[in-house]
């Protein structure tokens, strides 16, 4: 077909076309991993936008918003599963939550496209301007208003094999930049001429080179395990319909104790046990009886790292925290970590003064909203060294899974993905934790209520993963950390360098 005729037919309904392309692009994310789709969708997006240079910023923003809305609705459809746990009470809120969140996140894409199109109007190649503007706004999305960096394009690298090792240099947002750039360079190779086409070809060539470098890094750093540390990941698989139901606490606690006290399955003593997020439906640190039973289930030298709810003080009016409690073998609390990045709509209701009168409420069925902790923290775990702590979706925030200016020996993530069933949510969640390991060069241990529990080494290799819906006590070795990565030392300054480089190249190849 004649390109001009094709362009005319597509641009007749650009918003709809971009919405559909956003939906298709979401299948590049885990668990589907169809990253190669972006080699078609991104050039088509640029093809639609090519003729909009003379339009106004309002048209540009609407185009970017439509693209983002399609992408986020499809990429985060798993959020809807949480509203089926108590469908009678909550299901009516699902379209408001998913649609409202997607519409809000799409604003960042709308702004990104305004910036890219403004640069095109100044003579920059759109395919070169777009990756930088989108990466910059995705960084802002992950930090502004407490941040929500879920479903970023950098997560696509989870299915790209050794290419994902670039996270050790550039971090997640740097990967977002590169994924956009590789897709956009296909368009540049197709539509540009002269020096711009050469630049697009060189850019595209960096994809296989990144894969070769990543494979070399993997080959040179085989998984090495730490001595005298055996972790037990406890996965009780408690249904969300049963978790907070009155009368179930005894059964749930008995199951946790039985999994904790089971003999080692690998012939070596278990040294550290990890329970998932909010594992027990009562305040275990305030229960003398509960701690007595826990002490009977633990060996004297064992350490338990347990996801739990705690109060700041034993009174009805005290603040509640979703926390990690560290117990010794006698069930004494040695330390604790309080979740500081709470889930909006789940653990607290933003603007409750406005939304509660309309009937909206948080999903977690507790009488009070949780209180946020003080911030990222690293705990010194007896026998295992410094552990960066994160609870549930805190693992999606680069640079925030350990205390500031402290490189941990390993990461601990406890979560309850039972809200999301067998949807894509748990797979995307695990992929984010893999990125944190690659970025920092440290292993991670993840205990989930119902999958996916995992051990990940410092290069993102999964040495163990459980199944969703599986019940078990998984005994596993903890990998050794690798040499500190460039990203762990420079953070997103490497991304800033990439953005400046593309601006320089855009200026250098104007009208050439």
Q: Which of 392, 394, 477, 481 is catalytic?
A: 392
In the chain, where the domains are located: 3-220+491-508, 226-481
Q: What is the model's pLDDT at position 295?
A: 98
Query: pLDDT truncated to tens, each residue of the chain (512 aa)?
Result: 455 555 555 556 688 999 999 999 999 999 999 999 999 999 999 999 987 877 889 999 999 999 999 999 999 988 876 665 566 676 666 788 889 899 999 999 999 999 999 988 888 889 999 999 999 999 999 998 888 999 999 999 999 999 999 999 999 999 999 999 999 999 999 887 888 899 999 999 999 999 999 999 999 999 999 999 999 999 999 987 677 667 789 999 999 999 999 999 999 999 999 999 989 989 999 999 999 999 999 999 999 999 999 998 887 778 899 999 999 999 999 999 999 988 775 665 554 544 454 444 544 555 456 899 999 999 999 999 999 999 998 999 998 899 888 899 999 999 998 767 788 889 999 999 999 999 999 999 999 998 799 999 999 999 999 999 999 999 999 999 999 999 999 999 888 888 888 888 877 776 66
Q: What is the model's pLDDT at position 474?
A: 98
Q: Which of 277, 347, 394, 481 is catalytic?
A: 277
Where do the H-state alpha helices sit in 409-492? 425-440, 486-490
Distance CA 108, CA 148 (A): 11
* Cβ atoms 167, 184 nearer than 8 A: no
Q: What is the model's pLDDT at position 404?
A: 87
At what angle are helices 493-508 and 126-141 packed, to 10 degrees?
160
Report whether the peptide linkage leading into residue 373 is cis, meaning its omega lies within 30 degrees of zero: no
Nearest to 67 by CA among 153, 186, 128: 153
User: Counting Cβ atoms within 10 Å, is residue 404 exposed (0-12), middle (13-18) or buried (19+)?
Assistant: exposed
Q: What DSSP string describes 219-240?
A: HHS---EEEEEEEEEEE----H
pTM of the complete model: 0.91
* Long-range contact set of residues 143-150: C-beta below 8 Å, sequence gap at least 24: 146/341, 146/344, 147/341, 147/397, 148/101, 148/105, 149/173, 149/396, 149/397, 149/398, 150/75, 150/76, 150/393, 150/396, 150/428, 150/432
**16 sits in which H/E element:** helix 14-25
SS3 265: coil
Where do the H-state alpha helices sit in 50-145? 57-75, 87-90, 94-121, 126-141
Distance CA 66, CA 105 (A): 11
SS3 77: helix
* Cβ atoms 503, 136 nearer than 8 A: no
Q: Among all chains, which residue has been given the structure tokens 């762990």?
A: 488
* Neighbour tally for 20: CB within 10 Å: 17
* Annotated catalytic residue 339: yes
**Count of CA atoms in the C-beta half-sphere (13 A) of 464:** 22
| Exposure string over 411-449, b if 16+ CB within 10 A, otherwise e | bbbbbbbbbbbebbbbbbbbbbbbbbbbbbbbbbbbbbb
Residue 151 phi/psi, 5-degree rounding, is 65, 30
* Annotated catalytic residue 362: no
Architecture of domain 226-481: 4-Layer Sandwich (3.60)
Q: Which of 339, 347, 439, 481 is catalytic?
A: 339
Distance CA 446, CA 83 (A): 25
* Annotated catalytic residue 481: no
Residue 10 gets which letter from DSSP?
H
Longest Cα–Cα distance of the chain, Å, equals: 78
Residue 497 phi/psi, 5-degree rounding, is -60, -40
**Count of CA atoms in the C-beta half-sphere (13 A) of 86:** 14
Residue 448 gets which letter from DSSP?
E
């Amino acid at each position: 077909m004649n390109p001009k005729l094709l362009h005319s037919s597509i641009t007749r309904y650009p918003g709809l076309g971009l919405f559909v392309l956003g939906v298709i692009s979401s299948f590049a994310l885990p668990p589907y991993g169809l990253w190669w789709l972006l080699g078609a969708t991104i050039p088509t997006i640029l093809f639609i936008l090519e003729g909009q240079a003379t339009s106004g910023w309002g048209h540009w923003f609407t185009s970017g918003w439509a693209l983002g809305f399609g992408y986020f609705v499809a990429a985060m459809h798993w959020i809807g599963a949480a509203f089926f746990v108590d469908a009678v009470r909550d299901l009516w809120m699902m379209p408001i939550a998913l649609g409202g969140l997607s519409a809000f996140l799409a604003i960042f894409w709308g702004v990104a496209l305004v910036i890219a199109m403004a640069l095109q109007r100044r003579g920059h190649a759109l395919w070169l301007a777009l990756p930088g503007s989108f990466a910059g706004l995705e960084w802002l999305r992950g930090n502004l208003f407490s941040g929500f960096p879920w479903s970023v394009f950098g997560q696509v690298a989870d299915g790209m094999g050794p290419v994902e090792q670039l996270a050790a240099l550039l971090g997640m947002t740097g990967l977002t930049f590169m994924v956009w750039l590789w897709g956009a360079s296909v368009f540049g190779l197709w539509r540009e001429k002269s020096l711009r086409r050469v630049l697009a070809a060189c850019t595209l060539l960096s994809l296989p080179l990144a894969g070769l470098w990543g494979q070399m890094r993997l080959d040179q750093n085989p998984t090495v395990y730490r001595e005298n540390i055996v972790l037990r990941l406890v996965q009780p698989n408690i249904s969300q319909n049963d978790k907070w139901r009155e009368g179930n606490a005894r059964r749930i606690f008995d199951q946790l104790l039985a999994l904790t006290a089971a003999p080692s399955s690998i012939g070596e003593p278990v040294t550290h046990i990890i329970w998932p997020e909010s594992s027990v439906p009562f305040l275990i640190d305030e229960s003398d009886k509960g701690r007595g039973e826990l002490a009977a289930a633990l060996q004297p030298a064992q350490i338990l790292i347990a996801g739990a709810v705690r109060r700041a003080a034993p009174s009805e009016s005290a603040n509640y925290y979703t926390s990690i409690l560290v117990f010794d073998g006698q069930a004494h609390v040695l330390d604790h970590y309080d979740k500081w990045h709470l889930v909006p709509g789940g653990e607290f209701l933003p603007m409750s003064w406005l939304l509660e009168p309309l009937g909206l409420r948080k999903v977690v069925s507790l009488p009070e909203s949780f209180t946020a902790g003080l911030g990222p923290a690293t705990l010194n775990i007896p026998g295992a060294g410094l552990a960066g702590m994160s609870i549930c979706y805190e693992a999606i925030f680069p640079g925030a899974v350990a205390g500031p200016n402290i490189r941990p020996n390993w990461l601990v993530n406890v979560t309850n993905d039972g809200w999301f069933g067998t949807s894509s949510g748990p797979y995307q969640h695990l992929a984010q934790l893999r990125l944190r390991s690659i970025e920092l060069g440290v292993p991670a241990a993840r205990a989930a209520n119902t999958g996916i529990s995992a051990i990940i080494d410092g290069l993102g290799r999964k040495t163990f993963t459980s199944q969703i819906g599986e019940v078990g006590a998984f005994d596993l070795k903890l990998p050794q950390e690798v040499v500190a990565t460039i990203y762990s030392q420079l953070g997103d300054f490497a991304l800033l360098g990439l953005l400046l480089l593309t601006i320089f190249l855009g200026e250098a190849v104007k009208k050439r």
